[in-house]
Amino acid sequence: MSIFNHNQRNNIILVSIIVLGCFLLYALSDLFSSILGAIVLFTIFRPFYIYMVDRKKLNNSIAALVIIFISLIVIVIPFLSLSIMVIGKIGSINRESINIDKWTEKIDAFTGANINQPHFAEDTLQKLGAYAADLFPSLLSSAASIVLTLLVMYFLLYFMFVQMREFEVGLLKYAPFREQHALKFATELRNSTYSNVLGQGVIAITQGILLAMGFYAFGIPDAVFWGVIGSFLSFLPVVGAPTMCIPASVILFAGGHNLKGILLLAYGLLFIGNVDNVLRLIINKRIGNTHPIISVIGVFIGLPLFGILGLVFGPVLLSYFLLLLEIYETNRMAADRLERIRTGPELP
């Protein structure tokens, strides 16, 4: 006969579940990017999956494979290709020391004469090089890790779609809040994901294209490369792609092209900056409103955890956290009201 009563056994089982769950989370920490990526892709492609299965009567497995193929072609392969291009270009910049030294000397001469910063370009280049090395780790050295992350992500995504009904019923069953709050959380999660991933992606691509076109028109070398860099910087609301026009304008000023420098600066800060604001207004109105503070803090949270993917995953995680806080506050207020109703009004 057991020495524990019913409540003691339940408490021991609960503690065991918590301890084992923490251990499993720690063991799966290296695959957290795969799990989060699968959740993001599931949220984005869920309406399309339902359309293929319910309207087009496709087999569940075929529909899931179609989504995996589309996400590879549209999202994963372009992102990896751009990252490889950036890494390769950074390496070639390090090798082309003559051109770098020439531009560095011109910028340092200009900043030294005008703002008393004779080593501005040299110091900035060193800091940017160190930052880029951390932000874009060598894909060749981490190729096995990238392949494993993608395999696990798509393995999870496949079964999330194929067993979507069971997956969503399980989430609803074990959600720590009421059904209406769970549905509200799912809706807000979808809007948050669309706003941070799709919305910010559209803004980043648009700003990168406009920046590359401007650089090409004003004769800045490697316009496409700097357009890609501008796309990545567009995920930072405080920095953004328009700020790339500032050092480019300084280069034009240092080369004696004052009119081009002024026009490029105005093009970046006024035109590209306002395009960003207009697109954000449209996206926030149609999809969901993500406050710039969430984007900024989320990026600083995500970069140390996920590298370049943190530009997307950081704001998404922070948005999810704030949604959970909102649901918790709603549940707590509802529990307080029920408690007041159950106990009745206090007698004087």
pLDDT of residue 57: 87
Q: Strand, coil or helix: what is 138?
A: coil
pLDDT of residue 98: 42
For residue 221, the 8-state DSSP code is S
Q: Which two tokens stand for residue 33?
A: 């990017």
pLDDT of residue 105: 64
Q: What is the rounded (10 degree) CA torsion for 67, 72, 78, 79? A: 100
pLDDT of residue 13: 81
The 10s digit of each residue's pLDDT in 34-51 is: 888 888 889 889 999 999
pLDDT of residue 97: 43
Q: Which two tokens stand for residue 327?
A: 């649901």
Distance of alpha carbon 306 from alpha carbon 1, whole angstroms: 51
Consecutive 10-residue averages of pLDDT for the chain (348 residues): 69 83 81 84 90 90 93 82 68 50 63 64 62 52 70 91 87 71 73 75 86 89 83 72 82 81 88 79 66 73 72 77 78 73 61
pTM to 2 decimal places? 0.69
| Chain mean position to CA 144 | 22
